[in-house]
Amino acid sequence: MTEETKERVDLGGLTAQAVDLHLFAFERSLHPELFRHFADFHVEQTRYHADVWIIGLSHVVTVTTGNRSFTELLAKDSDIIPSRGIVSRFRLKGERDHERRTPDGWGYMTSTQVETMDDALYKSVHFDLLRHAERRGWFHLYENLADGEMTPFSYIEHEARDSEFHVHAFHAYPQERTIVKTQTIIELPPPPQP
């Protein structure tokens, strides 16, 4: 494995622990080659399009309207994460609500939760989420990282509205008995004036 590939895998969250995760918000798009993609999804709306990448036990969500973009990145902090265009950045811990309106007019609201449970509760939540994820939403299972009968997974649901994009993401870390949850709304800026 080359150093570049190793760095991309680490940034993808497979070697990171839930406590290592940070949430970044950018008033721009990010280059896809920075990440190891396990699954990619695309949504087209009249006023915008959205791209969602599952990049390990983490994700990238980018909403683009015209030549303007807004991106949420959930990943381990790393030197290869660009600093240009960052409007918010924080480490995930416990529960946190965050809201931001950018000078360019984007609205960003997110609620994050890192929940570590005892074995019995985690096992119940893990399998309930897994059953739900297999029936709906976007889902990726990391079978090569299974911890006994429990397998890490990423599960993302979305709702595309006329002027906003909603994302609910769940990332399961069975070795830590932890679920990382994010609920995000990205509101489009007003259209440019003629």
Q: Are strands 107-116 and 95-101 parallel, antiparallel or unpaired?
A: antiparallel
Q: How confident is the model at residue 14 (pLDDT cuts 50, 70, 90)?
A: low
164 within some domain? yes
Report the first-to-last Cα separation within the chain, whole angstroms.
52
pLDDT exceeds 70 at position 83: yes
Q: How many domains does the chain have?
A: 1
192 within some domain? no
Q: How confident is the model at residue 45 (pLDDT cuts 50, 70, 90)?
A: very high
pTM above 0.85, yes or no: yes
**Nearest to 95, CA basis, from 66, 115, 75:** 115
44 within some domain? yes
194 within some domain? no
193 within some domain? no
Q: How confident is the model at residue 2 (pLDDT cuts 50, 70, 90)?
A: very low
Provide long-range contacts, Cβ within 8 A and 24+ apart, for 171-176. Answer: 171/13, 171/18, 171/57, 171/58, 171/59, 171/74, 172/57, 172/126, 172/129, 172/130, 173/17, 173/18, 173/57, 174/122, 174/126, 174/146, 174/147, 174/148, 174/150, 175/147, 176/17, 176/18, 176/19, 176/116
110 within some domain? yes
The Cα–Cα gap between 85 and 50 comes to: 18
Question: 18: which 2 tokens?
Answer: 């839930």
Q: Which domain holds residue 120?
A: 3-187
pLDDT at 126: 95
120 within some domain? yes
Q: How confident is the model at residue 3 (pLDDT cuts 50, 70, 90)?
A: very low
Query: What length does the chain have?
Result: 194
